[in-house]
Structure 1
Amino acid sequence: MSVATAPLKLTFPIVGAQWLAAHLTAPNLIVLDASVGDFAGASEGIPGARAFDIDGQFSASQGVHTMLSAPEFEDRARALGINKDSALVVYDRQGMFSAARGWFMFVAMGFDNVAVLDGGLPAWVEAGYQQLPLDRGPFVPGSFLAEDREIFVDALTTKAMAGHDSAQVIDARSAERFAGKAPEPRPGLRAGHIPGSVNLPFTSLLDERGRFRQPDEVKKAVDEVADGKELLIFTCGSGVTACVDALAAYVSGCQQIAVYDGSWAEYGAEDPAGVRPVER
């Protein structure tokens, strides 16, 4: 690893393991481990990384990933030692799964100096770099400032925009779940998808190593489902992998993106009043 001494200004939201290793000593760099589920809570990872708890500390509800208010997010980011001039690189232990959710949360809070590690921890290990215990703090409180860009949207907005002339709702779940042919992993959810939405499984954007495919392949996949629409709203099971699709759209040049917070975990729940219709 080389020694970087100048503050970083990230110009692209995806970085590779070699780039991160070369800049790991930059004075304003903070690496965040945004692993979820069975992958969360591990003791070792990229040297100096701090745990970014999407399941708990940085979620407004348990079981469904729900964005915090701007003041809450600001307070918790500051508690992690994140400053307004920090450069953030987010990774997860699966490769490319929940790190994009971390990226999108910061972007939603008005912070753009943030990127995702392509391939996550597996790419770091494959490149031959060491793992060390995560930095658990305590941290010097940071100066992070949050400003809500309102790019997390709710069920009613998503339902209204599905099939709209100027918007496209894009579902990142598997084709089988989208079609209602495979059971949902969360109990009690209906099968199917939001009427008028289209499907772009997040796994279709990744190669066999869990890294993004070539930029032209990613852009082609996004463009095919975007169908020239101005606003793209992404949804998935609980608001995590929707952000992989959102990141792909962002790097493909899409200007207006949003994520349905709560996603199918909310929309697919029992609906006696019939306000959230399902299509199969």
Structure 2
Amino acid sequence: MPQTIDPATLFVSTQWLSENLASPNILLFDASWHMPATGRDPRAEYEAGHIPGAVFFDIDAVADQSTGLPHMLPSPEAFAEEMRRVSFGDGMHAIIYDSVGLFSAPRLWWTMKVFGVEKVSILAGGLPAWKAEGRPLGKGEFAREPRPFTPKFDPALVADWKKVNAALESGAPQVVDARSAERFMGRAAEPRPGLRSGHMPGAYSLPFQSVIEGGKMKDKAGLDAAFAEAGLDPAKPTIASCGSGMTACILSLAFAAAGHPISAVYDGSWSEWDEKGRGDHQAFQAR
């Protein structure tokens, strides 16, 4: 069964983080990532200035490199090795942020939930909120003593193309696409070269921007309104998809923030679906 967690544990404020930053049971992760076309280097930006004590999590590097698809979920062993390297041990509380506000941090949040991390939260407003308040920044990286970390893989949070195809044919779970409406309807080109436009037949459209306001997750009323507008029943099992498994995690987080089970994420998303050649890739009409 998908995990259901207390929405109150999902986010922490900049004030809370400032007061608890020195706690030995907390480790802060900078999970910034940007689309290749932006030309931004998240690691270089991290090294130039990050929240003090944060470690950088490279979403592209700590990934399954064997598929040819971008930033796919790493193996439990590879993820555990990275957690031990950065000194994140069993029972610790992970706090995640990104340099946009709420964009790539949910990807690491979802990954941690997949591997059984019980205490994981996102900094509300991310690095922009921290900077806007004039709070201190650190520079560079430093070595840490490894700590034991035990991964506990939860398969209910991960969907592959076979599971997605079965869901589209049966209607359960419902499949929801986080890409823009223009990309979903095939009126805008995909940002990755070679991918066709359109959407999976039977998928629902819920652009990830519709659940965010001012760089933060909308409140429950706003989320419920977004779900309703998309024609979704948030009480039903859901699989979130997008272009490459990044912004789908924002929707997974949104369901959890509204008090519903964490939705599974189609890790390969449209990048894999198009590669597999499943279905007609024309601009299907949205529900």
Same fold (TM over 0.5): yes
Aligned to 1:133, the other structure's residue is in SS state: coil
Q: Deviation of residue 180 (structure 1)? A: 0.7
- Alpha-carbon shift at residue 262 of structure 1 (Å): 1.7
Letter in 1 for 2:215: G
Share of identical aligned residues, percent? 36
Richer in helix (by share): 2
- SS of 1:47's equivalent in the other structure is coil
Equivalents in 1 of 2:8, 2:110: separation in Å? Answer: 16
2:122 to 107, 116, 125: 116
Please say if 1:275 is aligned against 2:273.
Answer: no
CA distance in structure 1 between the partners assigned to 2:135 and 2:262 by the alignment: 37
CA distance in structure 1 between the aligned counterparts of 2:26 and 2:8, rounded to whole angstroms: 14
Separation in structure 2 between the aligned mates of residue 169 and residue 34 of structure 1, nearest angstrom: 26
Which structure 2 residues correspond to residues 1-280 of structure 1 after superposition, within 5 A?
12-37=9-34, 38-41=40-43, 42=45, 43=47, 44-56=49-61, 58-61=62-65, 64-134=70-140, 136-150=141-155, 151-162=157-168, 164-207=170-213, 209-225=214-230, 226-227=232-233, 230-255=236-261, 257-269=263-275, 271=276, 274-280=277-283
Segments of 4+ moved more than 6 angstroms: none
Which consecutive unaligned segments of at least 5 residues does structure 1 have?
A: 1-9
SS at match of 1:74: helix
Pick closer, same or farther for the CA change 1:201–1:228 going to 2, 3 Å. closer
The answer as to whether partners of 2:168 and 2:174 remain within 8 angstroms in 1 is yes
Shift of 1:155: 1.1
**CA, structure 1 residues 279+148, in 2 after alignment: closer, same or farther (shift >3 Å)?**
farther
Counterpart residue identity of residue 104, structure 1: W
- State which drifts further: 23-32 or 180-189: 23-32
Residue 4 (structure 2) aligns with: none
* Superposed CA offset, 1:117-141 (max 9, x none): 122100111122111115x232211
May I ask how many residue pairs the two structures share in their alignment? 265
> Are 2:186 and 2:199, in contact at CA under 8 Å, matched by a contact in 1?
yes
Q: Which has the higher mean CA deviation after the structures are superposed, 153-162 or 163-172?
A: 163-172
Greater relative contact order (Cα < 8 A, sep 6+): 2
**Deviation (angstroms), 1:252:** 1.0
| 1:163–1:169 contact (8 Å) kept in structure 2 | no
Does the 8 Å CA contact 1:96/1:211 hold for their aligned counterparts?
yes
1:220 alignment partner AA: A
Verify the 8 A CA contact 2:11 2:121 in the aligned structure 1. Answer: yes
* Conserved 8 A contact 1:179-1:192: yes
Post-superposition shift, 1:256? 5.0
Secondary structure of the residue that 1:73 maps to in structure 2? helix
